[in-house]
Amino acid sequence: MRKESVRMLKRDRSVILALALGVLMFGAACSRSANSGNTSSTSGSNKSSSSSAPTSTSSSAGMSPSEVFKAYYDAQVRKDYDTVKKYLSQGTIQMMEEGAKKQGKTVDEALKESPGVSPSDMPQMSNEQINGDTATVDLMAQGQKITMPYVKEGGEWKLAMDKLLADMMGGHQPGGDKGDNEVLDNNNH
């Protein structure tokens, strides 16, 4: 029974991680099991897209969590990875650094290799809820819904993908070396 539970946990974790990464376009940076065959062109284009998200500044001061996601997504479309990182929480940046390091890459290299996104693929947002220095926004993409957590850092809303993945994995920190990650690694035959 334990082997079946481990298999189910591995499958569920893979589905959850694929959903989160697919919606958030962090394929190479956040994945524990890199699929290095899927890389895309890394054009350095910083062309502006026709988005309603604020693009004149890379600061999220005064922006709502939903506006932060729109600006983050717009920066992804433009492949402006310095701006992308400005919308991410410190915990998310740390998680990405750990994931990239395991692949022998920098965060910037991993971001450049992540799948490109299109303005037409922008997830639908709903149900923004703010509670002090935390917030959530529901994102719907490809028929799948996730609730994106945000944290306020330095007075600005930041996407907390580390918290999203920890919540999806039942409270276990992504990239952790203890607990069921150890079981999964030892049973990966």
Q: What is the pLDDT of residues 106-122, one digit of tens each?
A: 888 888 887 778 888 88
pLDDT by residue (tens digit) across 118-141? 888 888 999 999 999 999 999 988
Amino acid 29: pLDDT: 32
Longest dimension (CA), the chain: 56
pTM exceeding the 0.75 threshold for the entire prediction: no
59 vs 93, more confident: 93
Residue 180, pLDDT > 50, answer no
Amino acid 131: pLDDT: 97
Amino acid 110: pLDDT: 85
Instruction: Give me the mean pLDDT over the 4-18 stretch.
Output: 45
The answer to whether the CB of 124 falls within 8 A of the CB of 139 is yes
C-alpha–C-alpha distance, residues 99 and 93, integer Å: 10
Q: Worst-scoring range by mean pLDDT, 58-62, 76-80, 100-104, 143-147? A: 58-62
Residues 6+ apart with CB under 8 A from 139: 23, 69, 123, 124, 125, 145, 146, 147, 148
Amino acid 51: pLDDT: 37
- Torsion sign across C-alpha atoms 94, 96, 98, 104: negative
The answer to whether the CB of 126 falls within 8 A of the CB of 136 is no
Amino acid 73: pLDDT: 92
7 vs 31, more confident: 7
Most confident of 39-48, 111-120, 141-150, 178-187: 141-150
Instruction: Give me the mean pLDDT over the 51-80 stretch.
Output: 77
Instruction: Give me the mean pLDDT over the 132-152 stretch.
Output: 92
Q: Worst-scoring range by mean pLDDT, 103-107, 111-115, 163-167? A: 111-115
